[in-house]
Chain A
Amino acid sequence: MTGTSNNTRGTDSGSGLSPSLSLTLSPSPAPCPTSGAIEIHDLTVAYGEKPVLWDVDLTVPAGVLMAVVGPNGAGKTTLIKAMLGLVRPISGEVLVLGKPYSPRSLTVAYVPQRGTVDWDFPTTVLDVVIMGTYGRLGWFRRPGVKERAEAAAALGRVGMEDFAGRQIGQLSGGQQQRVFLARALAQDASVYLMDEPFQGVDAVTERAIVDVLRDLRARGRTVLVVHHDLQTVPEYFDWATLLNVRKIATGRTAEVFTAENLRAAYGDRAVIPAAVTS
């Protein structure tokens, strides 16, 4: 792992004072997608003195279903938050559809971890999904018939239409997750960022979520999912990024999911999925 780290630094310092400049000037031999839905250049985020993301370069091509995988504390959630501007990076930039990201552009839908909100909040399932349309409404304007219809349709896509009038505290964990997903669908964005949507959900919900993810990809949306279960990555995702503070590897899942890369991300005790040949 240290060896890889030194290598990366070596190439970085060797390519001149400004890595991003050299990136645009030098003709790259590798087939590098130039029109990424998300492009991250030299992103470093630290809480205090502890770097959480260390000089990450990452391109998410448009229309892919990408998993972000790495051990606990690898900076996966921070990566998503930095993309949304919810944490301030020390260096680097995030471009969404070629432009520095601004929340007002409404191009990105965010599915936070389920545990980040209070599920005893006095509101209904449909109401939470309608919140996905708030961005389009902006300040002051109230959601109306159109927004309610969109939210109901989004609930239908995750198989939760029968729960529209329920108080959110009565939902199971998997149902809560599907409500969050429906809320993101109601945003109708071109990029979806999801933080562990499969965390602690039942088998039914997992299948429902996978169906929705594939449906989004079929509609040309770009989906980036923080994922914990290495076993299901090759089955669910066509692209993958291995992260452990630094970016270990990114690309098509088949190329990224090598025993060597997984050990670099998780250490020598990594449990290598059966699908991966070493």
Chain B
Amino acid sequence: MLYTQSAFEITLVLVVVAAACALPGVFLVLRRMALVSDAIGHVLLFGIVLAYFATRDADSPWLLVGAAAAGMLTVVLVELLQRTQLVKADAAVGLAFPALFAAGVLLASVYLRNTHLDIDAVLLGQPELATEPRWWIDGVPVKPLWVMAAVLTLNAALLLLFYKELKLTTFDPGLAAALGFRPGLVHYGLMVTVSVTAVAAFDAVGPVLVVGFFVVPAAAALLLTERLAVVLGVAVLVGAAGAAAGTHLAIRFDTNIAGMVATVLGLIFAGVFVASPGRGLLAQAARRWRQARAFHETMLAVHLFQHENTPAEPDEARTDGLYRHLRWPAGQIAAVVCRAERHGLVRRDGDWLRLTDAGRARARTILVERGA
């Protein structure tokens, strides 16, 4: 495929879809409801088919309404199941959505054989066709780009309007209720937003990429930053970057766009997961290593402190005695003693190690903290 006007437009559609999904996606991930977006994404077909039965028009915007309603039906079903306390929260999601999803697939394959509701397209999404108008309002074609731009604007506006409420009900629903806010109302508002966004995005990118756009940028952003407002911005950027790069690569290598974008998003997440400065695997390993080193020095100080001015001191505080008492390899002891000396915790006195005032203070803080 060549770089054409339509390639640019496809990229634009996917970038807008990514941004529109990333905003509610952050709250889904923070509320541990990431899988709900998966459920909603799959159940849309059920709503589309039912709406098609009612309208007999595969291009009617009512199909969108039906799909959004199916999304809400999933949310309500999941909650009803949870409320019985007979199944756990994640199991409730897993119970509700295959049933509705299967119903949608069966209804479509049995009754809609001769229509142009293409199940494969519905299941996998066809970003390649994202420039084609899919919906007609009063005979006027509406391009997916405009639909998605409207959804993105709506999501951004709702976020600005209810930022405080979303933050409070997500962080501490109990306090929110006690302060007179309505966590349940905010929850359903968020779910409606997710459903509407999923419906609009679904048509362009398919259910798998919808879930990817909801979850992956949010999860990556949460590993990168520690302020909610920044998390939202970073999530939008990650999603948009993944969408643009993925589309570009897919066109370059002439492969499936949805698959390539999902792959690129996965790679971005993997990169963040490993290399995020504050919370990535590498940063964590480095922190643990530093802590382990500092901890060994502190242990040495505590050991010397415990035996200071006791009859056992001559034995316990000898550099060659440390090997027997601490049971550390000789090389490690030498390294720990060197570092502790460099950090001013101990000083050598012939064969003895003696605590400095700083070393004594370090030992005391540990012993006092533990003792209190």
| Chain A residues within 8 Å of B, Cβ to Cβ | 84-86, 102-104, 106, 108, 110, 112, 116-118, 121-124, 128, 131, 134-135, 137-143, 167, 169, 183, 187, 202-203
Task: Evaluate contact between A122 and B174: CB separation under 8 angstroms.
Answer: no
How many Å lie between the Cα of A30 and that of B178 in the bound state?
Answer: 34
Task: Evaluate contact between B178 and A108: CB separation under 8 angstroms.
Answer: yes
- For B369, the chain A residues whose CB sits under 8 A away are 202
Task: Evaluate contact between A122 and B227: CB separation under 8 angstroms.
Answer: yes
Given contacts A122-B225, A122-B231, A143-B164, contact A110 B178 (CB under 8 A): yes
In the complex, B137 has a CB within 8 A of chain A: no
Task: Evaluate contact between B171 and A84: CB separation under 8 angstroms.
Answer: no
- For B355, the chain A residues whose CB sits under 8 A away are none
How many Å lie between the Cα of A264 and that of B161 in the bound state?
Answer: 53
In the complex, B65 has a CB within 8 A of chain A: no
Given contacts A116-B172, A117-B171, contact A142 B180 (CB under 8 A): no
Chain B 154-176, CB within 8 Å of chain A: the 1/0 string?
Answer: 00000001111101101110111
Interface SS majority for chain B: helix
Of A85, A124, A135, A203, the residue contacting B227 (CB under 8 A) is: A124
How many Å lie between the Cα of A135 and that of B171 in the bound state?
Answer: 15
How many Å lie between the Cα of A84 and that of B231 in the bound state?
Answer: 32
How many Å lie between the Cα of A124 and that of B172 in the bound state?
Answer: 14
- For A203, the chain B residues whose CB sits under 8 A away are 372
How many Å lie between the Cα of A56 and that of B104 in the bound state?
Answer: 52
Task: Evaluate contact between B165 and A139: CB separation under 8 angstroms.
Answer: yes
Of B170, B178, B181, B372, the residue contacting A84 (CB under 8 A) is: B178
Q: How large is the interface on B (under 10, 10 to 19, 20 to 34, 35 or more residues)?
A: 20 to 34
Can you pick out 5 interface pairs between chain A and chain B where the beta carbons lie within 8 Å of each other?
Answer: A84-B178, A108-B178, A117-B172, A122-B222, A167-B226
Task: Evaluate contact between A142 and B164: CB separation under 8 angstroms.
Answer: yes
Task: Evaluate contact between A106 and B175: CB separation under 8 angstroms.
Answer: no
Closest chain A residue to B167 by CB distance?
A123
- For B178, the chain A residues whose CB sits under 8 A away are 84-86, 103, 108, 110
Task: Evaluate contact between B372 and A202: CB separation under 8 angstroms.
Answer: yes
In the complex, B270 has a CB within 8 A of chain A: no
How many Å lie between the Cα of A17 and that of B197 in the bound state?
Answer: 57
- For A142, the chain B residues whose CB sits under 8 A away are 163-164
A112 to chain B minimum Cβ distance, whole angstroms, is: 5
How many Å lie between the Cα of A141 and that of B175 in the bound state?
Answer: 18
4 interchain residue pairs of minimum CB distance? A135-B179, A103-B180, A167-B226, A203-B372
